[in-house]
Structure 1
Amino acid sequence: RYSVDYAMPTLDDSQDVELLFARDSDGSGTSWGVILKMNSCDEQDYPIEDLSSFMHWALGSSHTFAYHGANRGQFHANLLQAPMVYQDTNDMLAVDLRMPDVDVVIGEGGGDPRNPYICSFFDLETLLPDRNMTEKQHVSVFSPFLDGDSKQYVHHMLLYTCDDTAVESENFKHMQVIPECESMPSGCYEMKWLWAVGSEEVHLPENVGMSFGEGRNMMLIQMHYYNPDLDQGIKDSSGVRLHFTQSLREYDAGIMTFDGGTQGWQRPPIPAGKENAILPEFVVPSTCTNRWESSLNIVGITHHAHLIGRKITVEIERDGQSLGVMRKEHFYDFNHQSQEESLIKQFIPGDSIKITCSYDTSGREEDVEFGDYTNNEMCFVPVMYYPRQDFEWFSYRDPSSVSELYNNTVISCSTAGTASDWGNFSDVSACTQSMMTNLDDFYGWGVGQIIPAIWLCNSEYSFDGICPPCHKKKECSFEELKAFGQNVVCPNLCASAGVSVYPLTSNVTNSQPTHATLCREVNLWFDHVSLDAPTCVPKGNFENFDRDSEPKDI
């Protein structure tokens, strides 16, 4: 049997199972044994694979197949391996970051009283007085804590590190609460951990740790609550326990985010009345992943949508072949958003990553918009991995909505700059001139201020990728920045639009590409033709099984 909802499981069309024995005795209760094919290739079955998966159990009051009431549960198991032995946390230093009994109500300026966003700051230097937080520290286990009185209202928890410059300028304080926090506070953008409904404790491999400290001691938890009935008097102290290792691990972990649509400006509303509304695919092309410095080991992958999510698939294409999906989940379940092992164990520079999300709007009378609230929708995939890279966030762009930006990019790449108050750019491309004069416009940050490259790259806000290496000493000259723009930044940007950088005039394209992706700070435009998924090969044969062997007593 199988089920796609919280309902009586339906009889499977193909019975790829065989009963070996069934017993019922007063002393030992009911026991039974079956054999299953390792892979039946039936769309209603899951293959038995060498990875840990959710298992569900339920017990009724008789042998009649009927509703079991509250007598049910779930656990993780790998049917091909012995139970996993997790690392002992007794010798680790545990620190709790928990919301300070906050009122679960919308703060001033909030958009929807059913969807409060509340944040709280935590100073690790205060919480860990015996640790030198100017040095790197590693966390290897994240243990979520859900307040028993309010856990049904918790939609997600996100843990971020805050930049020390922002902490100083904004005067953030330990245990300070921001009552309305849908938009993240300035400088708090590096994600360290996430929890959504159904998530479990996260254990990193024994040679891997998530880095904390190094002078960035202020942490922030963003809580999204969902209170559809506007219940009153709700307080919450949910959070996370961090287990710090005694010594540093070999590798730093990171969280890579694939944003296939989380805001209304990325995706149009999903039409109402559709049983299987499939979004246009979101592709991270090889020109983007080639910027990774090495192969990346995948710790786990999470699928995230909201209440009408139907299915999320993440496929890897490598060397002209589809490797298939990272995680097999026939039907997305909002209540089981756990991080799961990936079937594909590594990302390789040059991989193309394709994400497809679908939704069931058959029960909705109005189109469903993308956005932050639970009654909106999302297409979002975080992946925990190591070793950490700077290039770890990617975002979908609708090619038609950025056509003007694409055309402007083609023009700025293929034409010469001019002499201006900022300097002479007639010997380089207009692209380089645009980068030099205003990074906010050039990258589309939306700050609303003129940010010259020579100012940013010689300030405390400079960072790699946007600025050349001279920014580390705050000694970037006009000519160094100009050369960096012409020889590094603009070639990458212009190649993403299929054109060369002036004065070269080759590879000029006149057609609008089929796909667009924001690859960290750079918009990429490209054509993509999806590869056929690998053909399923059945594995397992009932005829070869020895049925004469006597089963052991349980």
Structure 2
Amino acid sequence: MRIKFSMSQNVIHVDSELWRFREQVDSTETLRNRLGQAIRFTLGFCLVIGGISLPHVSGWEREAILDPLGKVHLAWTPHLETKVIEFEYTVQTLGWVGLGFSPTGGMRDSDVITAWIKDGRVFFDDRHVPVDHELPRVDDVPNYNLISAVETDTATIIRFTREFDTCDLEQDFHITGDTVKVIYAYGDTDPEGMDPFYHGSDNRGTKSLYLLDPPLGDIPDDPSIKEWIVSSEMVIPTLDTTYWCTIQKTPVVDVTHHIIGYKPYVKPGNEKYVHHLLLYACSIPDELVDVFNSWAEHDGVLCYGPDHPQEWNHCRSVLIAWAVGGEGETYPENVGYVLPEGGMFFMMEMHYDNPEGVSGIQDDSGLTVYYTDVLRPLEMATLGVGSSLHPASITPGRQSHFMNVGLCNFKCTEIAFPPEGIHIFSGFLHSHLLGESLREFPNHSPLVNMAPSENSTEIHYLNTGRRMRVRLFRNGEELPWLQNDNNYDFDYQQVRVFREHITLYPGDQLIMECDYDSSNRDSVTVSGFGTTEEMDGGYEYMVSEDQTLVDYLNEFDWSGVDMEGFQHLMRYDPHYTRCFNNQGELLPWNQTTSYPGGVDSWMPPGRECPSGK
């Protein structure tokens, strides 16, 4: 299609009717008939990737295996009251070990500790790396407190604490609720002197973690819990990006059950090809049951292509979203998603990346979904917030910051939310490779999983960004952000469990902000399905028979454009918003939406560091 441009004062004006934002919520009648709702809130897309089974470490709140071979293990507990985090670092070596926190995943500007035990003496140092390719320097002031250091027959175990914020602004890393890139390294022997030697290419790595989040929870060891394997055997196409959709039918159950969680499975060796997975619940009329049964036996089709049946649009409500780095999810013990008597249908959407066009890759990646006939007090639903794919979502190249937003109008929440509100218990942010920042806002279209309870809610966000944030406005005031990540990692997309549930009320407005970084791209980026595109749009938009929209925009002379004015227009110009229920029916409100005017922006508290530090 062709995009209309009008030039005025060196600002490109994109016609506002090209903007389309979708709000998908549970039907008004269903919402209002439920007394308390536990919500999973989803912005954009929901995705997850397979994880490693971890040994149980008694007494620690969180744990993770950091390396592919399972030799490097980290356990930790954040103490929120004292703002101190305690670690136990175990490495299968009798040599030196190192652990650090990095803004990028590399050594430069990282904050690290090194330790080893030699001849009964413990060597433990707080270090930093101010420049590339340099031995970590010992800090001027040590801010890590060694508790114990032990060697077993095969491993070195170091236990230590540090404050979230040591206020050492030059040499230490500030641990926040953002994604933290944890780096590790080790040697096979002890150093001869006071410094560790080079670790080599194999004994080091990085893993992104949420250090301050609560645990994801475990599937209970209960004989009433059953497993449903969701997968589709196929050969990954030799295309750069493929979205493959299949209809999946649950086991037939003779009484109502509750789905209580899931774990992802990625076929070993296919990790580089499997990008994300979505499982949409289907709400279909009785007359379509037979044809959906036949589709459940079918191999699937390219999503949203010419062979994608229109009836599959009845599958709109995201139950499970999994992406690169995700480890699955266990719902709160009082919350379940209804699996009705007789079972139901889902549509599974798989996103594959195969930029090298490798042929013959067999794949059966998918999910293990857990369900039980022991019903829980609360029923969960999903609220999704995000912008639809549309060619008007344009990010010019060579921009270090370019904000893309999605707006959920207060009129939509007035219609969809019950008077007592809905309660969010977890959230999920999703982006492709461009974005830099994302935040969730009560003014943007959401996909939500709900359960009738005051204390259970999960919120998932789908969008694209390196920094992401969702903002909440109520009664002319901005409240604390629903979710924020200033260090979003494309390779670590995991559901985030909230320590305290968040209640949203009718009339709340949500705004989702993604801060894109296109500084390493000459080309413009339009919204799209591809990994190198952004999720706000994504088809092969044609300007003419032999020219795509991207080609057309790349030929445009952007040097004469007032980029600040263009950004202001794309962010603050009215956006057309639409509210849908889970049956794909428009709710009775659709208008343009803008940022609320005359409202002071909420900002998190600043760092509490003494002057001079």
CA–CA distance in structure 2, aligned partners of residues 33 and 534 of structure 1: 32
Amino acid at match of 1:180: L
Pick the aligned partner of 1:104 from 215, 231, 236: 236
Instruction: Give the percent of matched residue pairs that are identical in Structure 1 and Structure 2.
Output: 19
Q: Which has the higher contact order (CA 8 A, sep 6+)?
A: 2
- Alpha-carbon distance between aligned partners in 1 of 2:167 and 2:372, rounded to the nearest angstrom: 43
The match for 1:160 is: 280
Residue 182 of structure 1: how far off its partner (Å): 3.5
Are 2:408 and 1:284 equivalent residues in the alignment? yes
Cα distance, 1:322 vs. partner? 2.8
After TM superposition, give the deviation of residue 285 of structure 1 in Å.
Answer: 3.1
Structure 2 residue 295 is matched with structure 1 residue 173:
yes
SS at match of 2:514: strand
Higher helix proportion (structure 1 or 2):
1
Q: Which amino acid aligns with 2:241?
A: N
- The answer on whether the counterparts of 2:409 and 2:593 sit within 8 Å (CA) in structure 1 is no
Bigger Rg over Cα: 1
Amino acid at match of 1:174: A
Contact 2:260 2:335 in 1 (8 A): yes
The reply on whether 1:272 has 2:397 as its aligned counterpart is yes
Matches within 5 A, 1:121-136: 121-124=247-250, 127-128=251-252, 131-132=253-254, 136=256
Question: Could you tell me which residue of structure 1 aligns to residue 605 of structure 2?
Answer: 536
2:109 counterpart of 1:10: yes
Distance between the aligned counterparts of 2:484 and 2:162, measured in 1? Answer: 21
Does residue 255 in structure 1 map to residue 373 in structure 2? Answer: no
Give unpaired runs (5+ residues) of structure 2: 1-99, 112-129, 131-138, 437-466, 538-568
C-alpha distance in 2 between matches for 1:76 and 1:370: 28
Spell out the pairing of 1:14-53 with structure 2 (5 A cutoff): 18-21=143-146, 29=156, 31=158, 33-37=160-164, 47=175
1:302 to 420, 428, 437: 428
How many angstroms apart in 2 are the aligned matches of 1:197 and 1:60? 26
1:67 Cα deviation (Å)? 6.9
Match of 2:534 among 369, 377, 396: 377
Structure 1 residue identity aligned to 2:600: L
Deviations 1:150-177, CA, capped at 9 Å, x for gaps = 2321111111223343444566333312
Residues 306 and 376 of structure 1 are in contact (CA less than 8 Å); yes or no, is this contact kept in structure 2?
Answer: yes
Q: 2: CA distance between counterparts of 1:362 and 1:324?
A: 30
CA offsets 1:5-37 (integer angstroms, 9 cap, x no match): 342241579999713348877668463634314
Q: What is the CA deviation profile of residues 399-452 of structure 1, one whole-angstrom value per residue up to 9, with x for unaligned ones?
A: 99989x89xxxxxxxxxxxxxxxxxxxxxxxxxxxxxxxxxxxx899xxxxxxx
Aligned pairs for 1:308-387 (under 5 A) are 308-310=434-436, 311-342=467-498, 345-349=501-505, 350-378=507-535
- Which amino acid in 2 is paired with 1:182? Y
Are the structure 2 counterparts of residues 86 and 70 from structure 1 closer, same or farther at C-alpha, using a change threshold of 3 Å?
Answer: farther
Q: Distance in 2 between matches of 1:141 and 1:372?
A: 27
Residue 37 of structure 2: aligned partner = none
8 Å contact kept, 2:325–2:492: yes
> Quick one: distance in 2 between partners of 1:39 and 1:336?
26
Please state which structure has a larger fraction of its residues in strand: 2
Any conservation in 2 of the 1:39–1:538 contact (CA below 8 Å)? Answer: no
Distance 1:173 1:352 in 2: 39
Find the partner of 2:269 among 149, 171, 181.
149
Q: Structure 1 pair 371/16, CA: closer, same or farther in 2 (3 Å)?
A: farther
Query: 1:8 & 1:156 partners in 2: Cα distance?
Result: 29
Could you tell me whether the CA contact under 8 Å between 2:478 and 2:600 is conserved in 1?
Answer: yes
1:363 and 1:527 map into 2 onto residues whose CA distance is 30
SS at match of 2:295: coil
Q: 1:233 aligns with which of 360, 379, 384?
A: 360
Distance 1:357 1:256 in 2: 19
Of residues 220, 236, 239, the one that matches 1:87 is 220
- 2:336: which partner in 1? 209
Relative distance call for 1:64 and 1:31 in structure 2 (3 A) is farther
Q: Say if 1:45 and 1:354 are closer, same or farther in 2 by CA, change over 3 A.
A: farther
* C-alpha contact (below 8 Å) 2:423/2:501 kept by paired residues: yes
